[in-house]
A = this chain, B = another copy of it.
Amino acid sequence: MVRPGEFAPAHRHTMGAIRFVVEGDGAATVVEGEPLPMEPGDLITTPSWTWHDHINPGDTPIIWLDGADGPMLHYYQAGFGNPYHEPQQPVTKPVGWSRKPYSVLRPQNTPAPKATRNRPPYRYPWKDTEKAFESGAEAPGDPFDGILLRYSDPLSGGATLPTMNCEVQMFRPGEKSRSHRHTYSVIYHAFRGSGTTWIGDEKFAWEQGDSFVVPLWMWHAHENNSREPAILFSINDRPAIEALGFFREEIRE
């Protein structure tokens, strides 16, 4: 939470991070000189080694979920970081700057996919997510995940970050998924609506604002037994697990 008038001093670290905004209005994360507005439902990435700070010039608190590959980085002992030489970095780019180079209309100087290891910071606004859900509302759902959208790297179309995927999924009223398990873990946050999730032999009921975890290799299945669409935001470590050759999945018949 960042209260009105507060700010978090500018810094950078090798840890890659994401923020998913839950509540609030008017705050922004500044990454590499570009303000990324933070509205409820927005996802914002601060990839490894990008300067960033958070500002809240508005008059309501802003609340977001923070996801970071800190534990993995800690395991490999590869953490580095340093503070910016001033409390805040200067704003040098307009709002929307990071969106431009990655549309299907690419400026000539956009690096070719894979030509760079460095990811750009990026904002995925909720209004785009909402529109994507609306247009997919009639589609058949995935057997395990309903209508699921992956926040993909704008440069390559691959994982959100080298270590983590962010996803958001909608279960329509009455929708019920099949059970499967896999060697990556998932942290869920109920953003809209309510439902239940079986994890192993236990049933968990969740509603807006709740968070829960499906640990790796646990059987799990979701159900929306309400009359409203239910939306889950989630973070998983599948990109790391796949890169290392550790991915495995089983489907319950």
A16 within 8 A of B: yes
Contact partners of A72 in chain B: CB under 8 A: 244
A 90-105 binary contact with B (CB < 8 Å = 1; else 0): 0000001000101111
Cβ contacts A127-162/B at 8 Å (1 or 0 each)? 011001001100000100101111111111110011
What number of A residues sit within 8 Å (CB to CB) of B? Answer: 61
A117 touches B245 (CB 8 A): yes
Q: Once the chains are docked, how many angstroms separate the CA of A161 from the CA of B142?
A: 30
Residues of B within 8 A of A132 (CB): 100, 103, 105
Taking a contact as CB atoms closer than 8 A, the residue among B148, B155, B168, B248 that contacts A14 in the complex is B248
Does A113 sit within 8 A of B, measured CB to CB? yes
Question: Smallest Cβ distance from A80 to chain B, in angstroms?
Answer: 7
Docked complex Cα distance between A148 and B105 (Å):
9
Residue of B with least CB distance to A148? B108
In the bound assembly, the distance between CA atoms of A76 and B244 in angstroms comes to: 10
The docked-state distance in angstroms from the alpha carbon of A153 to that of B110 is 14
Which of B69, B106, B151, B244 makes the CB contact (< 8 A) with A157?
B106
Q: Which of A104, A105, A112, A246 has its CB near the most chain B CB atoms (within 10 A)? A: A104
